[in-house]
């Protein structure tokens, strides 16, 4: 699996020709947009910061859109989504937390989760033990670095990849490194196989946008 970060909460995960896009940034967002074709697009919250389906409809790819709670099977990938309530841009919103297995790697994607308390026991059970966790760390209307680390520990995540922050040098990232007790590994992209997860426990990997 090859994972790249495109700013905001926009993540691309690819295995061969199969492309997953998480929270693609829409044209009306103030965040920088990227464009590529995806087979499956995940939207956690209906806002231009996260729902830019047009940005991942490209070439011969028109994505199947997963945009809410429930269970899905798409192209052999089993997906579960659970509802959480949040406030975003000062409006009460619905956010979906996703769990899926892709290339034999368990992925948890939290979206615009507001705090650690929003991750109920039922959602933790749905997520199970996560290999790679994508979590916001900026604070404010989304998780703080402390809450993101707390959730990663609770889910026994092998790798935590921060999203929804200003990048290398951000105080939120510094706070996350302090919580984790080590400096993050900074990469342009993460290329990983199941066997590479052995021996990793709560490792923070920063992907440059």
What pLDDT does 199 receive?
A: 87
Is a pLDDT exceeding 90 seen at residue 49? yes
pLDDT (tens digit per residue) in 178-189: 999 999 999 999
Sheet holding 91-102, edge to edge: 70-74, 77-88, 91-102, 105-109, 132-136, 159-163, 203-207, 185-187
Global pTM reads 0.97
What pLDDT does 168 receive?
A: 81
- Which run of H or of E encompasses 149? helix 145-154
pLDDT (tens digit per residue) in 145-171: 999 999 999 999 999 999 999 988 789
What pLDDT does 167 receive?
A: 83
Q: Which fold has domain 2-207?
A: Metallo-beta-lactamase; Chain A (3.60.15)
pLDDT (tens digit per residue) in 50-70: 999 999 999 999 999 999 999
pLDDT (tens digit per residue) in 85-120: 999 999 999 999 999 999 999 999 999 999 999 999
């Amino acid at each position: 699996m090859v994972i790249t970060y495109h700013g905001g909460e926009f993540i691309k995960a690819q295995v061969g020709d199969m492309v997953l896009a998480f929270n693609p940034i829409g044209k009306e967002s103030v965040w920088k947009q990227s464009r590529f074709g995806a087979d499956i697009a995940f939207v956690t919250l209906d806002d231009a910061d996260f729902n830019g389906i047009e940005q991942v409809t490209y070439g011969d790819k028109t994505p199947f859109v997963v945009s809410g709670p429930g269970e899905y099977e798409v192209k052999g990938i089993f997906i579960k989504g659970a509802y959480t309530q949040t406030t975003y841009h000062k409006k009460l919103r619905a956010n979906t937390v996703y769990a899926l297995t892709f290339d034999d790697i368990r992925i948890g994607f939290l979206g615009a989760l507001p705090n650690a308390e929003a991750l109920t026991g039922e959602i933790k059970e749905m997520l199970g033990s996560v290999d790679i966790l994508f979590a916001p760390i900026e604070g404010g209307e989304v998780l703080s670095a402390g809450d993101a680390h707390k959730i990663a520990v609770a889910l026994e995540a092998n790798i935590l990849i921060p999203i929804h922050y200003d990048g290398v040098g951000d105080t939120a990232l510094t706070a996350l490194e302090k919580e984790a007790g080590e400096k993050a590994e900074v990469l342009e992209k993460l290329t990983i196989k199941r066997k590479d997860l052995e021996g990793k426990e709560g490792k923070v990997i920063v992907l440059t946008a």
